[in-house]
Amino acid sequence: MKKNFFLTLVSLMIISIVAIISVQVYWIISAWEDKEEEFSLAVSQSLNSVSVMIEEREMSDYIAAFEKLLDSVGTPNDSNFTDVFLFMDDDMTSNLTSFYAYGILEENYILNIDTKLGEESNVKDYKKVKTTTVLNNDKIFNRENKLPSSIDKLRSVERINTYDQVKYRAAFSDYSSTIPIHRRLNVQELQTLLEEEFKDKNILTYFEFGIYNNGLATKVKSNNYKEEQKGPRYETSIFTEDGKIESPYRLVVSFPEKNKFVFSSIISVAGLSILLTFFIIIVSATAIYQIIQQKKVSEMKSDFINNMSHEFKTPIATINLALDAISNAKILSTPSKVKQYVQMIREENKRMLTQVESVLLISRLEKSSAPIAFSDIDLNEAIHNAIRHVDLLVKSKKGSISTSFEASDTIFRGNLNHITNLIINLLDNSIKYSDNPPKIRITTSNTSKHLVFTIADSGIGMDLTTQKFVFEKFYREQSGNIHNIKGHGLGLSYVKKIVDLHNGSIDLFSNVGKGTTFTISFPKK
């Protein structure tokens, strides 16, 4: 994967994630604002409805009391008709004509008692009167002459509604303005009306209310209402006087838990949105991580191929040189030289075979689901076998391997072949990463539950970055020329795999220029 393409792909994925998060945040904010607007509109409508209902109730109470007062006075001082309305209806099927007459009866009362309606003692009342006259069209008659007689026969009297409301309201407005607000309005009534209206609008949250007169608080308020009440405040006018635009009285309602209520109304959808967004982020982050890892593995594989090519190139070249030498007549005549070159070919061939086996061994361990065969093995035996495999190589570099077997119990469950290869890989690592003649020390010891052995060298060591990745497959410390040290990046990965399969642990301690120590522990039998 090309670097530019990789960076572009990762950048686009990150931008997509940020865009998704931004859209979700915008949606949640918009949903919150919409719910707040919906809440405010519902509250305003409820307050207006309550204000109208209270005014209508008060007006109805006044009309009832007013009519009761007039009834107690008796006959009016004088009366007259106003606003007479006439119309007729012909019924062709029955050959009948119906005359309808409607009028307003104005009655003037002289009251000699305190009505609390002002200084005047004259009070007017209004009633609706009506009559119906049915005429036979077969008889000769003058319809116009019949109309006055229909008016004279107005006899049915009943209360009017809309008209009464208008004329009574004007009279009551002056009277009601002199009454204190706490006498006009009951707190419990206001509480009940607000609760019912809020319930109808699905506003199911705690609230407090109060009535203000020209900006000053009155006695009409809920039990826990304060002038500096927490939460948003909503208000509407109440008891507007006749002929005036604004009322001195304001009904104020506060919602201390408004934000909590609004949030609860969107939490389900917002929670789902957040959950899906989080899921998308996790999936995207995982994908980006996998892409990075694949790129890293790809780079490691490329390095591995280069290293393997170098590792094979050197022994192949050595073998070719040895074969050319043997083909020389002078060399063939010298058995010692022939033996030397044959031994050289054998060693180089063995080295290539060891590298191939290491690769195949790692591959089999990763692909095989079947567990490796375990038996009782002796750690000391495995160490000795491993030393024999590298002894000649150590001596060729004028190095040495020392041992200190302090463990009394050296038997544990494991696979002898894999444990031996594990130790060989560690020893080979110490040999390769030593600028000077390698000095290696192997020690064993026992703990209460584990069998422990260490392999320490005085080689070049490794930095902290290398220590973090040294057990990863295909990883190899690169200093200067990547081919300056023989190796293919599989040895320590194989070691870690074998340790894990034996339920053991491996620790690494290293200082640059001072050497490296590997500590491996296995559970006792």
Percent of residues, the chain, with pLDDT higher than 70: 70
CA separation for the pair 366, 390 (Å, rounded): 27
Structure tokens at 74: 């008796």
Token pair in block for residue 422:
């594990």
Compute the mean pLDDT over every residue in the chain, rounded to the nearest whole number.
Answer: 77
Residue 106 has pLDDT above 80, yes or no: no
Looking at residue 95, its pLDDT comes to 66
410/377 Cα distance (integer angstroms): 8
Q: Is the pLDDT of residue 113 over 60?
A: no
Q: What is the pLDDT of residue 73?
A: 62
Q: Measured over all CA atoms, what is the biggest interatomic distance in the chain, rounded to whole angstroms?
A: 167
The residues that bridge with 216 in the sheet, in sequence order, are: 213
Secondary structure (DSSP) of 75-116: S-SEEEEEEEEEEEEEETTTTEEEEEEEEEEEEEEE--S--S
Contact indicator for 379, 410 with CB cutoff of 8 Å: yes
Could you report the per-residue pLDDT of 247-305, keeping only the tens digit for each? 888 999 999 888 888 888 888 777 787 888 788 888 878 887 887 777 777 776 776 67
- Asked which of 58-72, 160-174, 216-230, 312-326 is least confident by mean pLDDT, the reply is 160-174
What Å distances lie between residue 446 and 408, 475, 519, 523, CA to CA? 7, 32, 13, 10
| More confidently predicted of 47 and 433 | 47
pTM of this structure = 0.46
pLDDT digits (tens, 9 = 90+) for 408-464: 999 999 988 889 888 988 998 888 888 889 999 999 999 989 999 999 999 998 888
